[in-house]
């Protein structure tokens, strides 16, 4: 490793320690993800995988939620810009333009063929937010990289980027060029927690009957946060779980030693 690679590695490792995925369930689809809501970048990113099998499945579902005002946003499945499977998305006439890219350097990433991405029905692009929920097949291995370095129960750093003000050159073209993002950040995803027995019902368009009561952490509504009396459950939330936010009907108290901390109007989290 060169000195700059070591510094880069330490930066990534530090970021990974700082933010860890926790479970959230989307109210409209019933799909439960392991992911993170970034209170500064106002983005939610989540992943859910099929049950562990041999040979391993090559797919997963991703959810990305961001303000409609952003020019474009992106997610790196490998946690870095270079040598990773990159997803780019932006709204165009109430549609979601979602693509896959790859690059070996800090330059405009090229369109990347191989992954098959399918937007699921609860994806929306409205005046306030873009929410892309998509199935990604042939997506656990890519050029010069793979999820969990090939172990789908290992740790994976996930990165996300946003361009707040600059739109892509041609929003109607999924392969459009774009300028460098304004911000990026990371969270750690423990792949041993992302495998969900309900996965097959998720890709067929609905939640399984056994899925947890619909809850929401997706910023799709601008209504006032519910009053505390709307809690449907007397149980307290586990560490790093959701404990409040617009539309949230789950636990609003936290396990002993954790405090319910408001991250934004849509998401409060049990933090130490
Ligand atoms: C013209 C397009 C782009 C340019 C010129 C560009 C350039 C850069 C540069 C210079 C950095 C380093 C910034 C720093 O260390 O402060 C960076 C970081 C990053 N970029 Fe991009 N980028 C572009 C598009 C994208 C896209 C489309 C994605 C993902 C969808 C992406 C994902 C990332 C990530 C995750 C990082 C942080 C991790 C790392 O340094 O590897 N970039 N980019």
Mean pLDDT by 10-residue block, N- to C-terminus, for the chain (272 residues)?
45 59 95 97 98 97 97 98 98 95 98 97 95 98 98 98 97 98 97 97 64 37 29 58 69 81 68 72
In the block, which residue shows the tokens 């005002």?
69
* CB of 102 closer than 8 Å to CB of 132: no
Q: Is 80 in the pocket of ligand 1 (CB under 6 A)?
A: yes
Which residues, other chains included, contact 220 with Cβ-Cβ below 8 Å and sequence gap of 6+? 27, 28, 65, 124, 126, 128, 129, 131, 247
How far apart CA 34 and CA 192 sit, in angstroms, is: 10
Q: What is the DSSP string of 100-138?
A: EEE-SSSSPPEE--S-EEEE-TT-EE-SSEEEEEEEEES
For a pocket test of ligand 1, which of 106, 158, 176, 177 has the largest count of ligand atoms closer than 8 A to its C-beta?
106
Specify the pLDDT at position 159. 98
Q: Is 106 in the pocket of ligand 1 (CB under 6 A)?
A: yes
Q: How far is the CA of 245 from the centre of ligand 1 (A)?
A: 31
Q: Is 85 in the pocket of ligand 1 (CB under 6 A)?
A: no
Instruction: Indicate the SS3 state at residue 230.
Output: helix
* CB of 89 closer than 8 Å to CB of 171: no
* CB of 133 closer than 8 Å to CB of 169: no
How far apart CA 84 and CA 130 sit, in angstroms, is: 23
Task: Determine the atom of ligand 1 nearest the C-alpha atom of 186.
Answer: 35
Specify the pLDDT at position 264. 60
How far apart CA 26 and CA 20 sit, in angstroms, is: 18
Count of CB atoms situated within 10 Å of the CB of 151 = 13
155-163 β-sheet, strand order: 110-111, 95-102, 86-92, 72-76, 155-163, 183-190
Give backbone dihedrals phi and psi of 14, rounded to 5 degrees, phi first.
-60, -45
How far apart CA 177 and CA 194 sit, in angstroms, is: 33
Q: How far is the CA of 103 from the centre of ligand 1 (A)?
A: 10
Q: Is 81 in the pocket of ligand 1 (CB under 6 A)?
A: yes
Give backbone dihedrals phi and psi of 193, rounded to 5 degrees, phi first.
-105, 0
* CB of 123 closer than 8 Å to CB of 61: no
For the chain, where are the E strands, in sequence order?
22-25, 32-38, 43-48, 60-67, 72-76, 86-92, 95-102, 110-111, 116-119, 124-125, 129-137, 141-142, 145-146, 155-163, 183-190, 242-244, 259-264, 267-271
CA-proximal residue: ligand 1, atom 21 (nearest): 81
Q: How far is the CA of 170 from the centre of ligand 1 (A)?
A: 19
Specify the pLDDT at position 271. 73
CA-proximal residue: ligand 1, atom 6 (nearest): 180
In angstroms, what CA-CA distances link 158 with 13, 74, 93, 132, 215?
Answer: 11, 11, 29, 17, 24
């Amino acid at each position: 490793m060169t000195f700059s690679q070591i510094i880069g590695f330490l930066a990534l490792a530090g970021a990974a320690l700082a933010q860890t995925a926790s479970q959230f369930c989307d109210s409209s689809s019933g799909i439960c993800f392991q992911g993170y809501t970034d209170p500064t970048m106002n983005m939610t990113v989540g992943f859910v995988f099929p049950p562990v099998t041999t040979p391993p499945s090559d797919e997963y579902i991703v959810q990305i939620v961001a303000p409609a005002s952003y020019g474009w946003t992106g997610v790196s499945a490998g946690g870095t810009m270079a040598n990773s499977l990159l997803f780019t998305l932006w709204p165009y006439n109430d549609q979601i333009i979602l693509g896959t890219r790859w690059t070996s350097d800090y330059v405009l990433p090229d369109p990347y063929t191989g992954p098959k991405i399918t937007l699921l029905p609860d994806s929306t692009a409205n005046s306030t937010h873009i929410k892309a929920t998509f199935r990604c097949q042939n997506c656990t291995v890519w050029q010069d990289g793979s999820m969990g370095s090939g172990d789908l129960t290992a740790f994976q750093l996930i990165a996300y980027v946003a361009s707040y003000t600059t739109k892509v050159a041609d929003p109607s073209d999924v392969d459009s060029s774009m300028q460098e993002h304004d911000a990026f950040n990371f969270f750690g995803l423990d792949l041993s927690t992302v495998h969900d027995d309900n996965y097959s019902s998720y890709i067929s368009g609905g939640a399984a009957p056994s899925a947890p009561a619909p809850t929401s952490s997706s910023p799709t509504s601008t209504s006032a946060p519910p009053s505390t009396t709307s809690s449907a459950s007397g149980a307290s939330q586990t560490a790093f779980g959701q404990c409040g936010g617009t539309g949230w009907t789950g636990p609003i108290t936290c396990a002993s030693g954790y405090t319910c901390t408001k991250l934004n109007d849509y998401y409060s989290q049990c933090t130490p």
